[in-house]
């Protein structure tokens, strides 16, 4: 489980950092490597972040102070590696890169797992709502198609065969609409179930993590 979490976080970080400088010229010239390390620790970033900073600052002729950065990052991790922060990271669907010291990791991951539970039920609710919206739009499209076909069937100059073909098509659309409406009603039930699950986890965790 931890391997998967770390791999996902590392992959996301690589994509996010691949195309932009991590520090501005002003930050590089200021040389506050302890403060930068603290900020990165507070954000749960790995030590490899220093390599990105070194690359960004090399353009300005600045070399990082690795010792100061590492010391600041350790202090930042103390603030990051808490149950509350773990819950926030898990609830937002963010990854955990395995950065917490062994003496702090158990508490962080405890909160992280709780946050993941919340994220899953909230995502299920969002998916159910999206499905209802999508099926509702499809119902409107089918209604418009039926109306258009009914108007087409009333047009002058059609043969009996052509009118029969149009009526058959209308029946096909109506069958699809009936199936779609059943799916829409099931999705409405899924919303009700998902809303109940969200209420349950909010009640379950409110004393530990407050409201969100």
CB 139 within 8 A of CB 177: yes
Q: Please provide the average confidence, as pLDDT, over all residues in the chain.
A: 90
For position 211, what pLDDT does the model report? 80
Q: Which of 120, 48, 88 is nearest to 211 (CA)?
A: 88
Give the pair of three-digit tokens for residue 123: 């995502």
pLDDT tens digits, one per residue of 164-197: 999 999 999 999 999 999 999 999 999 999 999 9
CB 118 within 8 A of CB 194: no
Report the C-alpha gap between 107 and 54 in whole angstroms: 32
Q: What kind and span of H or E run contains 148?
A: helix 102-153
pLDDT tens digits, one per residue of 44-61: 999 999 999 999 999 999
pLDDT tens digits, one per residue of 94-104: 999 999 999 99
Neighbour count for residue 2 (Cβ, 10 Å): 10
């Amino acid at each position: 489980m931890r391997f998967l979490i770390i791999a996902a976080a590392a992959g996301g970080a690589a994509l996010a950092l691949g195309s932009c400088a991590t520090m501005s010229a002003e930050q590089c010239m200021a040389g506050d490597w302890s403060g930068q390390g603290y900020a990165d620790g507070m954000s749960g970033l790995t030590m490899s972040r220093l390599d990105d900073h070194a690359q960004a600052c090399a353009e300005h002729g600045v070399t990082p102070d690795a010792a100061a950065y590492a010391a600041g990052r350790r202090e930042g991790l103390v603030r990051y590696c808490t149950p509350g922060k773990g819950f926030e990271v898990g609830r937002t669907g963010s990854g955990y890169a395995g950065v917490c010291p062994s003496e702090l990791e158990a508490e962080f991951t405890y909160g992280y797992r709780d946050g993941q539970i919340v994220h899953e039920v909230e995502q299920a609710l969002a998916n159910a709502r999206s499905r209802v919206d999508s099926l509702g739009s499809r119902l409107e499209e089918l209604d418009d198609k039926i109306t258009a076909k009914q108007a087409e069937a009333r047009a002058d100059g059609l043969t009996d065969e052509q009118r029969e073909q149009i009526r058959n098509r209308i029946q096909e659309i109506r069958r699809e609409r009936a199936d779609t409406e059943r799916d829409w009603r099931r999705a409405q039930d899924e919303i009700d179930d998902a809303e109940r699950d969200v209420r349950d986890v909010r009640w379950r965790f409110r004393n530990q993590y407050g409201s969100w």
